Structure formats: C-alpha cells, structure tokens
Amino acid sequence: MRIILTIVALFISNIHLAQYSRSEANEYFQNLNFAKAINIYQQLESKKKKPKPFFVERLAESYFSITDYNNARIWYEKLYDLKEKKVDEATFIKYIQSLKACQEYVEANILIKDYYSYDSQKLATIRQQEKYLDSLMGEDPKYNISNAQINSPLSDFAPMYYKDAIVFSSSRAPEFSEDAEYSWNNQPYLSILMADRDTTTGQLNNVKKFHKNIQSSFHEGTLTYSPDYKTVYFTQNYLKGKDLQVNPKGFSNMQILRGDVVGDSIVRANALKFNNPKYSFGHPFLTKDGKRLFFVSNMFGGFGETDIYYVDIAEDGKLGPATNLGPTINTPGREMFPYVAGQHLYFASDSHFGLGGLDIFKSKMEPNNSYEIPKNMGMPINSNMDDFSLIINDVDHTGYFSSNRVNGKGDDDIYSFSKVAEMMPYRGNILDEVTKAPIPEVKVKVYDQEKQLVTETTTDEQGNFEVALSPDTNHIFAFFKLEYKQEIKSVNNANTPNLIKDINNTSLTPFSSFIVYEGGVEKVRANPIFFNLNRFNITYKAAEELDKIVTFMNDFPSVKIKIEAHTDSRASDAFNLELSNNRAKSTRDYLIYMGIDASRIESAIGYGESRLINNCADGVPCSIEDHLANRRCDFIIIGK
C-alpha cells in the first residue's frame, strides 16, 4: 500500500454503491480502482483529436492516487497548460508534489512563486520556509534513521507508543489478516499490530496482533492512549452491525472511537460526539496530560482537503467544541498525523514548502493557542516521497516515522530515528616536554569508549589542533609523532555535556630523553640491573628497572634492541662468560614474559669480563662499588 493511498484510505471511502456508477471508467475511478480507471481513460483520451481536460485531470488524479508521480507530473503538466495555469489550488498542490517527488525542484519552486504572486503574505511564508529548509540542506544531517526490521512487503505505518512497545497499522497478510482486499491497492484492510521495543536501541521485534476484539473486516487505524494506558482513542470505519455504514454519496467514511483498555481488549468503545457520517475523522492524538485530543477531518468549514483540529477534554470526560488549528497550520492541501511533544506540534503536510509528497513539519505552540510558522524537519526525516506519522521522545530525541521512500521493504515502512549529537570543538596545543617548544605534525587520533576510531587530525606549525566531537560522550585522545613518546588522555565529559573541553598544553616526551650515547651507540637510559653475586635470576630490584625498559618499548613500539650483559673480573673468564650469557637470556626472557614481542629483541649475549669500563681487571685491587660498575646490562637500540 503506497502511503498516500494508506492515508487517504482513512478519509476517503472504500466502497461505492452501484446506483451511483456512471461510465465504466468513472465507476472504477469512484470505486478507487485507479489502475483500471487509468487503462480506460487512456483509451478514451487517445481517441480524441484534442486533449479533453476531463480525461487529462482524471488521469493525473489517478496516477497521483497510486503515487506514480512521474506519470502524474506528465498529466498535471498537460492539464496546467490546457487550462492556461488556471487550475484550482488543490490540483496545483498535487502538480507541485508530483514535480518534487520527481526531484524537479527548480521548476516546482518557480511555479509556486508564479501561482501565488497575487498573495504577498503567502509568498512571505513560502520564502521563510524555503530559507529555513535551504539552511538545513547545507548542514550535516541532524538525525540518523534506520528501516525497522519488523517491516513487511506490504504497508506498515502510524506507530504509537504503548508502554515498552509500539502499536501500528498494517496491511500485511496472510499471517495477520484473512480479510478481503481493498480495491484501491489490492491489499488487505488495515489491522492493528504490536511490536516490542528495545528502549535502549529503539529496535522493534516480535510482531503480534493487538486489540483483537475490535478487528473488523474493514479498516482499523491510528490509536492513541491516555497516560495510564487505560483509555484508547482509535479510528474505524462507520459500521452498522458488521456492515459498512455509508454516507449519502455512497461512501463509508472514518470515525474516532473511545474505549477502555482491559488486558489486550478494548471494551465499552463509543463514537465521539463530533463524528458525522458525512465526513471522515481520524488520526487521533491525546496529549501527555490527557486533556486535549488532536485529530484530522475533512469536515465542512476547513481550509483544505484535511485539517487538524482539537477538542479539550474535561475531568468527567466530556468533550469541548472542535477547534480548527487555523491557517498557520492548515492549508488548502492535506495536514495529517498530529503529534505533540514538549512545546512542539509535529504533523505531516503536502502543502507547506517541502521536499515532495507529504513532509513532516514541526511548529512551536504558543500559550494562546497560536502556532509559529511550521518548519520542515529536513532530510533524512523527509524525502521526495511521502513521510508522515512521526512520534518522538523529546527527552532523548528518538522516535519513529513512516515513509514510502525508495529502497524500503514495503509500500509504507516504519523507520526509527535518533538525533545526531551536536558537535563541539575540542582544542589543544602540543609541546615538547623538554624544550617547551610547540610540536608540529603530531598525529591526533580520537577513539570512543569501545576503542573505535572517531576522527583524527594533525597539529599545525604552532602545535595546535582542533576536532569536532559529541559533548555527550567520553573520548580517548592519542598523540603520536616519531621520536616522541605517545601520549594517551581520556576526556570524561558525559556528565557535563554543555562544557567545551580544551586539551591544552599536552606535553610529549622526546625520544632523546630516554637514551644515552656511549661508545658511538644509542642505549636505553637505565639504572644498573642488579643481580646477586654469581647469580642470574631476576631479583625484585632488577625487575623494577626492567619494567622501565618494558614501558619504554611499549611507548616506542617500533624500537628494536639487542641485550648485552657484562660481569666484573672476579671469578674465572669462563665462569663470567657463562654467567653473563645466562643474565642476558634471563633479561630477554623477562621482557618477553612482560609482553615484548621476541622479534624486537635481536640478540641477548653475554660478554663476561671482556668489556670492563674501568681498570678493575684481574689482580687489580678495587672497591665493591668499582666492581659493581662492571656488572651491567646494556640495551642497545638497533632500530626505531
């Protein structure tokens, strides 16, 4: 079921009695069987030497009704030319929507300004809405959207919150409906379904039939609940027993009923007093306090095809008079699916300035029951097709809406959405720990708490950098530059979402701070590695120093070393050579045990007493301290 069809199905009849039929084509048209009507009208039109406005208009209307906007655009253009631009406003709106659905925005906007050139106030509103929408088009999308996994190949739309679930309307079959097909789109009549809702992720699953006791052989539609979920308002065909009740034109319209919810059932359901079988009433929405009911109707006295109204509800449940929301909200076209969250009214319209088809708008509600000029919610909420029936949690800015946009799963699909967090600037300056000079070309990488890369940048010549991040999430900053120790900083600001954090004066320690030059080679700066006399096992004091080598190698993960162990001259040359070899290998084994990759240690060799650094050779009297200086372990850097 295409969206427009689904929506109109709640307002336009679905059965036409035979006594009102005219020609075969007109009968199909009146019975909303547009596909067959198109076939006959095209045959009739092809036989005319000159285009006949009646057939052209019926073809345009039929294609529009089945959302074949490309063909609708062709026939509306012919009609517009035939009537020398003198078409009624409702027809003009459909022409514009067909153009925009085909993404002919430039042509559509030129026609709009030409058509309303006589109405300066209308033009001013159009320009204001156009300017706002243009400003959104130049920004990054404000929302992430996702096609809900519960969607079927048919029509699923009009979600509404129900505790930790949603209820929605669907024409899916055969598992949920055995009813006859609706002639408009050859799909089953609408039924009410429920899906469980993950309140953390927003995902929907586990679809089941809901309120089974009110299911008829015809349409049931949009529902809304009282805050305690004990009262429900819903849409249904006018019925007389199990049969449709028809108006004087032979059509069955829609009405709004109120009932009590007991378990899975709706009991004591009664039609609201403002219903009138001559018109349709639908899309009820009850405000959070339960004191005002918004709805949609095509009743006499409105501004367009369907308008949004409200009634106030007294403590005893009695309804006040129906009040039209006025021309700021309602237009000569269709306004549908009202929803209120916080200080804003959300609704769908095909006549306010938009992207094509039905678009979703929001308007701030003033205390005196007036409304600001509606603002288009922009992409990706809106598209060039029909987008409607939005519900939103105004605390966490998540919700659902319906659309028949391309690449969906069915005719109408339910989409979930969440607001993209507003990005804030995070600035910093990177300095050399030793010289305090700024460091250019430092790579700055930012990760989320799951260690997934979010963004990266590089410092400028003055050591400055800036990244845009969500202020609602904690981040990890990592700073890298060759010849410097990498630095990691956590920014824990989820509890202060409005605070701009500056990562100022971060210092990086240069590689040179960790090395010494001796004998023409680079060595890791380290204190002596203490071994007990004539022993090669790693002592507690030796481990403390070796842990510093581990840290150094972790900080500089590209460094490779070789280990050279030495002894003093006491004991024999052979003994000292073997002892130093064992000490070198024990040192290597410890580093590997602590996580250093073995490939980063080229060798571990003992040189015994062959490389003394003082004069304490065999037979030379020396102090314990002098001998200790020769018992050393060097870490020679061979790659970095």
pLDDT of residue 112: 92
pLDDT at 17 over 50: no
pLDDT at 74 over 80: yes
What pLDDT, in 10s, does the model give residues 359-370? 999 999 998 889
pLDDT of residue 25: 80
pLDDT of residue 247: 55
Residue 502 sits at φ, ψ, to 5 deg, of -110, 125
**What mean pLDDT do residues 47-59 have?**
85
pLDDT at 300 over 90: yes
What pLDDT, in 10s, does the model give residues 240-266? 666 566 555 555 688 999 999 998 888
| DSSP code, position 223 | E
Helix (H) / strand (E) containing 70: helix 69-82
Residues in the chain: 640
pLDDT level of residue 46 (50, 70, 90 thresholds): confident
Identify whether the C-beta of residue 111 lies closer than 8 Å to the C-beta of residue 79: no
pLDDT at 7 over 50: no
3-state secondary structure of 542: helix
pLDDT at 302 over 80: yes
Domain ranges of the chain: 143-419, 424-509, 515-639
Task: Give the ranges where 102-175 is alpha helix by DSSP (H).
Answer: 105-115, 120-137
pLDDT at 599 over 80: yes
User: Which CATH class for the 515-639 domain?
Assistant: alpha beta
Percent of the chain at pLDDT above 70?
88
For the chain, the average pLDDT equals 85
Evaluate whether the domain defined by 424-509 bears CATH number 2.60.40.10.
yes
Helix (H) / strand (E) containing 335: strand 335-341
Minimum mean pLDDT range among 488-497, 558-567, 578-587: 488-497
pLDDT at 609 over 80: yes
pLDDT of residue 619: 81
Evaluate whether the domain defined by 143-419 bears CATH number 3.40.630.70.
no
Identify whether the C-beta of residue 598 lies closer than 8 Å to the C-beta of residue 521: no
pLDDT of residue 398: 94
Residue 39 sits at φ, ψ, to 5 deg, of -60, -45
pLDDT of residue 544: 83
As to burial, measured by CB atoms within 10 angstroms (0-12 exposed, 13-18 middle, 19+ buried), residue 570 is middle
pLDDT level of residue 219 (50, 70, 90 thresholds): low
Higher pLDDT among residues 491 and 335, named by residue: 335
pLDDT at 182 over 50: no
Higher pLDDT among residues 209 and 5, named by residue: 209
* β-sheet bridge partners, residue 425: 468
pLDDT of residue 496: 52
CA angle 234, 236, 237 (to 5 degrees): 165
pLDDT of residue 327: 95
pLDDT of residue 502: 58
Neighbours of 98 (CB within 10 A): 27
What pLDDT, in 10s, does the model give residues 309-323? 999 999 999 999 999
